[in-house]
Each structure stands twice: as structure tokens, then as C-alpha cells.
Chain A
């Protein structure tokens, strides 16, 4: 029987929630949590489960990868699964990081599942097989089924089809491939050309990946003449959350007056807290300046290094938030900043 290893985060590995997101990597010679579902669906036995906290992997990536590769070097396995990570950004990045490393080190197929909005897709789809998945764990069964079906095809040595047909995100890898109807390249090229000349739709066989970079804004010449605003996706708000910004998948943002404040006072003193549901709020609630550094900016203002810290900071929540909503909110905030004559921005994300 072939053997599989499954990678899960602290939550799906049944260690706990955000409070243990710093959990160091561990390996267990058993099926933990979602690994049991893999075991039922695979034509292989899941022999080990690797579990690592998302924050540990996010903040100590090299160390985490090294520890896990070390765990695995004496394990005999034919295939590696990570996730599903749904729309959880840190988990998706973690699955990608470890998946890529395992693929390189042990040269076994690595398969994961992530929602299209997960940043892990864009970063790692070229390195490992990633299948489109649901938004949340409600889709666990469907997502695991999809990737184990594909895993079984590989394990059983079946012929693999191009990305579109198998259903995973395109990796941008080119294979030599014979069409079933054997239409030669020159005929396809002429067909495509004619379509193009006639203004008809055609599909290129060599799509060029789009890079969506923004033109780099020029450097600020004299900071001491500049008004700088703080913007955050870390969900810092007044304790009563007056704009009712959602704790996840936010569609709203707020601006909060900090004129006359030397620092952001904390939740216990009834001032600012975080409503972000994607990380442990303890540190940010105790001292919101660790997310929105008003205190440090005031010091630079006092020293004359910057002209002025803008009277408001802008805040929303960046977990589960779609790129479309983030872009809209970014545009709206930019408009405010223009109206307020701000020249530069420090954006902090969590």
C-alpha cells in the first residue's frame, strides 16, 4: 500500500485556535483531524500528520520548513497533501511554503486546495498542484474529495490531463501534447490568425501571464515638509467599533481622529482595540501601537523628521476580505487622503 503524509495547521490539527497559532511544528505517527478523511478517500494509507501553527510558519518560515523536512527524512511516503486552506491566507501560505519545500526535497507529488482569493494560490500555484476550494471548512469534504481523486490518479499511474481538464490552477508549465484530432500546429495557427483578422474570439495556446504592478511613486524629497497618514488592515478601532467594521470579509472601513494623542491607549482604558478575527487580539488590545504605531510617529514628528502625522488613521480588517473589496476600500481611502492633502502613507498589515 502506498503511503501519504498530510500537513495541517493548529486548528485542523486539533491543537486549538488563534491563541496557539505560534505552535511549533510537530509530527505524529497517526491520523489527526482532517487526515482521517484523507485516509478514507485515498488509495493509500495516511501514516503521519504534520501540524504547525500558522503564525509559527508565517514568522519563522525557514526554521519551520527545516524542522519539518527533518521530521520527514526518515519517513517513507509517496504523496504529500497540505490543507485544504480555504480562504485562510496564512494557512494557504503555510501549505505553499511546506509543499514547495517537500516537493523539492523529496520529489513526491504535492497537492493542496485553496480558495481563489487565498494569496497562497498566486504565490505557489507554479510549485505544487493547487485545486480551487471553498471559502470555509464547510467545504472540507468536497475539497478533500477533489484533491484525493487527483492524488489517486497519480498514485495509480493514470494519464494526467492539462490543468484546465484536471481542474487545478494553471502552473504555467508547458508539456508536449498531441491533440486527439491531430490538427497540426500550422493549421491551428492559420485558424487563429484568420479569427484575429476577422475580429473573432480566439484562444492563444501560449498565454502570457499578466503582471499587475503599479507604477512606483517617486521618493519623498523632504519628509520634514510631509504629512504622513497611517492606514491598517489590522482592524484597530475605537472600542465601540462605531463603523461596525466586520471582523472578517470586511466591506467597511473607518477613519479615527488621533489629533492630540501621543499614542493609542488600549482596550482596558476604553480606547482602542482590534476587531480582526484572523489573529490573536491579546497583544493588539493591550497595546494598539504594535499595529498602528502612533507613538513612534509622534516621536518622529516631535524630532522634526516628519512634517506631520495626519490627524486620522484609517482602518479595516484584512482577513477573508476579497481583492475586489480591498481595492474599492483602498480607492475610497486614497480619495480621502487626497482631499486631506496627505503626501505619504505607511500601511501596516497583520
Chain B
């Protein structure tokens, strides 16, 4: 899906836990998430922590959209 969307000319960032799969499929901009069943907020942590993590990682995804890249790139996250 990510490839077809990019082929159509959209700047797209994929947020995924299985980065090796995203790479093999051919995503160009990638941001890691924390797990498969809860990509952007671990339910064993507080609501505030989940929110901070999600706000941060979506922010990294937005940075990715504004970054020129020459090849496939996984963007670093801090939390």
C-alpha cells in the first residue's frame, strides 16, 4: 500500500514495528513504533506516558515528511 501511495506522488511515511518488513516491501521513509498490537502507546504505562510517546513519534513522522532523502531511511525516535 505504501508503495502505491508513493507511486501516485504522495510524500508518505510508514510507522511500523517490523521495520525490516517495511524496508523489504519498499517503504522509503520509516518511523519505528513500539509494538504490533499497540504501535503508539503501551497500555501498561500511564495515559500521560502513552500520549507523550505518541505525540513524539507522530512528530518524528512529520519531520520525516519534510526531510529530503536519497535512499530508504529509518528516522530515529527518542521515546
- Residues of chain A touching chain B, judged by Cβ–Cβ distance below 8 Å, are 18, 21, 54-55, 58-59, 89-90, 93, 119, 122-123, 212-221, 223, 226, 228, 231, 233-234, 278-284, 286-287, 289-291, 293, 295-297, 299-300, 305-306, 316, 318, 326-327, 329-331, 333-335, 337-338, 342-350
Judge whether B76 is part of the interface by a CB distance below 8 angstroms: no
Our pick among A289, A305, A344 for the contact of B40 (Cβ within 8 Å) is A289
Q: A58-B18, A289-B40, A337-B10 are in contact. List 13 more A-B contacts (CB 8 A).
A: A59-B35, A93-B18, A119-B24, A212-B26, A216-B71, A282-B37, A284-B38, A287-B41, A290-B40, A334-B8, A346-B65, A347-B15, A349-B16
Which of B9, B41, B51, B70: most chain A Cβ within 10 A? B41
Q: Assess whether B1 is in contact with A348, with CB atoms less than 8 Å apart.
A: no
Q: Is the CB of B37 within 8 A of A284?
A: yes
A-facing mask of B19-59, CB < 8 A → 1, else 0?
01110111010000111111111010000001100110011
Whether the Cβ atoms of A290 and B13 lie closer than 8 Å is: no
Check A55 against B12 for contact (C-beta < 8 Å). no
Note all chain A residues with C-beta closer than 8 A to B14.
Answer: 347-349
Q: How many residues on chain B are close to A (CB under 8 Å)?
A: 51
Closest chain-B Cβ to A72's Cβ sits at a distance in Å of: 22
Contact B6 A214 (CB under 8 A): yes
Instruction: Give every chain A residue within 8 A of B11 (Cβ-Cβ).
Output: 217-220, 343-345
B interface residues, Cβ below 8 angstroms from A: 1-18, 20-22, 24-26, 28, 33-41, 43, 50-51, 54-55, 58-59, 61-62, 65-72
Docked Cα-Cα span, A297 to B55, in Å, equals 8
A217 touches B3 (CB 8 A): no
Q: List 8 A-B contacts (CB under 8 A).
A: A59-B36, A123-B21, A213-B72, A218-B68, A290-B43, A327-B3, A347-B1, A349-B15
Contact present for B28 and A119 (CB under 8 Å): no
Contacts of A333 in B (CB 8 A): 1, 4-5
Enumerate chain B residues within 8 angstroms of A219, measured Cβ to Cβ. 11, 65-69
Which residues of A have CB within 8 Å of B51? 295-296
Q: Of B16, B40, B65, which contacts A293 at CB under 8 A? A: B40
Select B54's contact among A90, A218, A289, A306, beta carbons within 8 Å.
A289
Out of B8, B21, B28, which one reaches A338, CB within 8 Å? B8
